[in-house]
Amino acid sequence: PGEAPEERVIRDYDINDYKNKTELTAMRLKTSMYAALRAYRDIRLIERHRQGLEKIISATTEFIECDTLPQFASAILNQISVLLAIETSDIICCAITRDVKSGNQYKILATNLQGKSLSTIPAKVQTRIEEALNQHSNIQGSDYFVSYFTTRRGMENVLYVAKNEPLEPVQHHLLSFFANNIAVSHENLKLREVIRDSQRELSYIIGEAVELRSKETGSHVRRVAHISALLARHYGLPDNEAEMIKLASPLHDVGKVAIPDLILNKPGPHTNEERQIMQTHAKAGFDMLRKSDNPILQLGATIAHEHHECWDGSGYPNGLVKNAISAAGRIVAVADVFDALGSKRCYKGSWSETQIREYFTEQRGKKFDPRLVDLLLANFTT
C-alpha cells in the first residue's frame, strides 16, 4: 500500500477497484466476477441503445426522401427489419392511420399487410390494434408491440410489430422511439403532398385560364400534362422528373396572354405578320416564368420557350436542333400537338386517329424527336 496508494492508483490509472491481499478470498472473487459481468451487460445494453438510436436517426433520412405512401411503407418495413436485426419475412408489421378531424376510416399505410382494410387482417392482430386504438395508449406483449400516437394535424396512428420470438426490452424501447419518428415523418409526407397538389392545381388553373381566353375547352392542359408524364416515363426519365414535367407542362402556353384576342381567336389562317405575333407567345411565356426560383416554374419557363422548337431546327423562337432542345420541351411538343389535333378548335375540326398517325409519321425526325414519335404511336390512341 505504501508503494501503490489506493487514491493514486484509482485516480491516475485505468483501474476501477482496489483490493488488499487480505481481501482476496473466494467469496470476494465471486462478488467481483458478478459485478464485472453485470457491468459488461449494462455496457452492452447501452451500446445496443446507442446503435438503435443511430438506426432511428438514419431512418429519418430515408423517410424524408419518400415522396409517396408506398415508398414510405416500404421504408418502414426496411427500417424495422434493420432496427430489430431480422429479416422482413420474420416479422408482421403494419402502420394504421386515420384523420380524426375528417372522421375517415382507419387505413393501412404499410407493410406486410399493405393494401388490406383493418377488418381483413388476422383476428389476433386486429384485436391488439383495436385495443391500442380504444385505450389511446401503447400496449405490448412478449412477442409484439403496439404503439399509439397522434400528430399535430389530427392524425391518429398505430404501429404494430410482432415476430416469431420474444421481443427484448431494449427492442420495445427502440420501437417506441421509432413509432414517434414514423408519426412525424408521415405528417411531413402528407404536408408535402398538400403542397404538391396545390402546385398542380395552380398550374392547371393558370393553363385553363389561358385556354378560356383562347376559347379552347375540354381540359387541354390536363390532358397534355397526363400525356407528357406518360411519354416521359416511356422515354426512360425517372419518376420524379416525369412528375415535374406533369406539373410544369400546363404552363406551356401561358405566354398567349400577351397575344391580342383578334389574332389569338382568329377562325381562319393567320397572315405572315399575325403568325409572327402569334409566335412571340413562346418568348413571352419564358419571360413571365423564368424569374421565379421555384423549380416547377423554372421548368415551365423552359417548356414554354421550347415546345415549338423542331427536331430539324425549323422551329421557333431559337431554331434549336435535336438534343439542344430539352427533353421536357420535346416531350410537351409531342403531347401538345397530339391532343390539339384530336380536339376541335376555333380554326379547325378534330382529326381522326388515322390522320393523326399519318401526320406524326410524316413529321418524325422533322418536327418531332423520332424516338418520341415511335413511343407515341406504339402506346397511345386518341
Length of the chain, please?
Answer: 382
State CA 146 to chain mean position distance.
26
Which option is the CATH number for 214-379: 3.40.50.450, 1.10.3720.10, 1.10.3210.10, 3.40.630.30? 1.10.3210.10
Alpha carbons 188 and 164: distance in angstroms, whole number? 32
Please name the residue ranges forming H helices in the chain: 6-12, 26-64, 69-84, 123-135, 169-213, 220-235, 239-248, 261-264, 272-289, 295-306, 327-341, 353-363, 370-379
At 231-244, the pLDDT tens digits run 999 999 998 899 99
Q: Which of 174, 180, 186 is nearest to 97 (CA)?
A: 186
Instruction: Give the residue, 358 or 179, on which the prediction is more confident.
Output: 358
At 271-325, the pLDDT tens digits run 999 999 999 999 999 999 999 888 999 999 999 999 999 999 999 999 999 999 9
Q: What is the pLDDT of residue 52?
A: 67
Q: Are 215 and 232 in contact (CB under 8 A)?
A: no
Element (H, E) at 113: none
Where do the CATH 3.30.450.40 domains begin and end in the chain?
52-191
Catalytic residue annotation: 256
Give every CB contact of residue 99 below 8 A, 6+ residues apart in sequence.
154, 155, 156
% of the chain residues with pLDDT over 90: 31
348-351 contacts: CB < 8 A, separation 24 or more? Answer: none
At 98-150, the pLDDT tens digits run 665 555 566 666 555 544 555 667 788 888 888 888 888 888 888 888 888 77
DSSP state of 326: -
Q: What is the domain class of 52-191 according to CATH? A: alpha beta
Q: What is the pLDDT of residue 345?
A: 65
Alpha carbons 334 and 372: distance in angstroms, whole number? 7
Where do the CATH 1.10.3210.10 domains begin and end in the chain?
214-379
Please say if the pLDDT value at position 337 is more than 90: yes
Q: What is the pLDDT of residue 194?
A: 82
